[in-house]
Structure 1
């Protein structure tokens, strides 16, 4: 049983769906606090291709007075501005001439015409649209509904145990906080998903990687899943040097 766990994302990029495609079960890590790291913060924003390069689409959220308490499944969307109209205009302006825009645009337009009060609901609805468009028939669960007690790396193992995982696909940042020894002890193989981003034809000259999957879908339609799948994305992590040395010392003593 191959399991992947990721925080919800707004109009996710290709690597997000490559990891889901490589899994049997995908768990939305939606009960933890929003990631404030600008390099990995995609819960409420993503990028679309433009003639000038790329542009952010950002969903405004209500955060005043909630610092340290912004759990993903509780975040409210700030609807004081017409951000959905702005997002749809940007999508339509930059993709209306794409080969498959007419085939896939309608559900995304409906997504943005719906009034959302919580970010998690918006992202979950968007995820469903993408998975149907990419014909990804996978089991999707939410951590907020799984009675989790642990945090950080122990939370990942707890979720893996709850669904009977034999393999866990971690993102590249897992190297910094996941201990392969713990996963071995739990009988779960740990693999790192290092996404090898493909190049493909976009609506404008040149190529910009790390766009929303909208970019691939509107330009390649039914061929999108084959393009986004990357055969060399999964690698085994190396044990941390200190842990390896400690294990060797323990063996020598015994």
Structure 2
């Protein structure tokens, strides 16, 4: 079984959804430490004046070094939902598929989620479903007897779920193979491959194309039906980098 493991991010980019679409089972790695200034709490959209960062404010009274993603509450003091939705209207109200996409996102963002992980996973699952992606989702925090850190933790998750082929983002190669080719994943007899994804280009508002924005930029400009076609056009699944 082919699987991938990733931390749940806020409004992920297109490559995140390609990774989900490429595997049989996708594990949200939600019981690890929240990284400072990470994509778990923020992402970028495009405006007439350049890129804007949408950030979910979180409460970490013991400091981010002690906070786990699934234990991180969203700050109740900042009106971030209203701010994010107002920004999306300002940025995309003239986009071709605004009327199709905005009510969908408005409903998701306005969900009364109090935890960061719950917010992110709910948004990711909903977008995936709307795109027609049928991958199975699992939370690492709901698995029993998971052990180890870094690549050893990934191995533990794979073994418990019966994942025999692990698909990793290319950016994770440095720590996966720090000690030896394939690291703990290959040593455990699990096939290791790296995602091969080329970001698709499409017509955006506001001039030249900007890559690696939140995938909602693609949704607003191209709609759900065309978006999944474009995401899949950038995926080279017959040529996984081993």
Normalised by the length of structure 2, the TM-score is 0.91
Structure 1 residue 160: Cα displacement: 1.0
Structure 1 residue 181: Cα displacement: 5.3
SS in 2 for 1:11: coil
Q: Using the alignment, how far apart are the partners of 1:92 and 1:83 within structure 2?
A: 14
Q: Using the alignment, how far apart are the partners of 1:95 and 1:134 within structure 2?
A: 19
Aligned to 1:153: 151
Count of matched residue pairs:
234
Query: Does residue 231 of structure 1 match 2:235?
Result: yes
Query: Does residue 133 of structure 1 match 2:120?
Result: no
Aligned to 1:187: 189
Q: Using the alignment, how far apart are the partners of 1:117 and 1:181 within structure 2?
A: 37
Aligned to 2:161: 163
Q: List 4+ stretches of structure 1 deviating above 6 A.
A: none
SS in 1 for 2:20: helix
The RMSD of aligned alpha carbons is 1.6
Aligned to 1:142: 139
Aligned to 2:120: 123
Aligned to 2:78: 81
SS in 2 for 1:173: helix
Larger radius of gyration: 1
Farther off after superposition, 177-186 or 115-124: 177-186
**Unaligned stretches of 5+ residues in structure 1:** 238-254
Query: Does residue 49 of structure 1 match 2:54?
Result: no
Query: Does residue 102 of structure 1 match 2:106?
Result: no
Q: Using the alignment, how far apart are the partners of 1:21 and 1:66 within structure 2?
A: 34
SS in 2 for 1:48: strand
Aligned to 2:14: 14
Equivalence map 1:200-215=2 (5 Å): 200-215=202-217
Structure 1 residue 56: Cα displacement: 0.2
SS in 2 for 1:103: helix
Aligned to 1:58: 55
Q: Using the alignment, how far apart are the partners of 1:57 and 1:169 within structure 2?
A: 28
Normalised by the length of structure 1, the TM-score is 0.87
**Unaligned stretches of 5+ residues in structure 2:** none
Aligned to 1:174: 172
Query: 1:77 touches 1:119 (CA, 8 Å); kept in 2?
Result: yes
Q: Using the alignment, how far apart are the partners of 1:27 and 1:62 within structure 2?
A: 25
Q: Using the alignment, how far apart are the partners of 2:235 and 2:83 within structure 1?
A: 36
Query: 1:26 touches 1:141 (CA, 8 Å); kept in 2?
Result: yes
Q: Using the alignment, how far apart are the partners of 2:185 and 2:32 within structure 1?
A: 21
Query: 1:108 touches 1:129 (CA, 8 Å); kept in 2?
Result: no
Q: Using the alignment, how far apart are the partners of 2:114 and 2:12 within structure 1?
A: 20
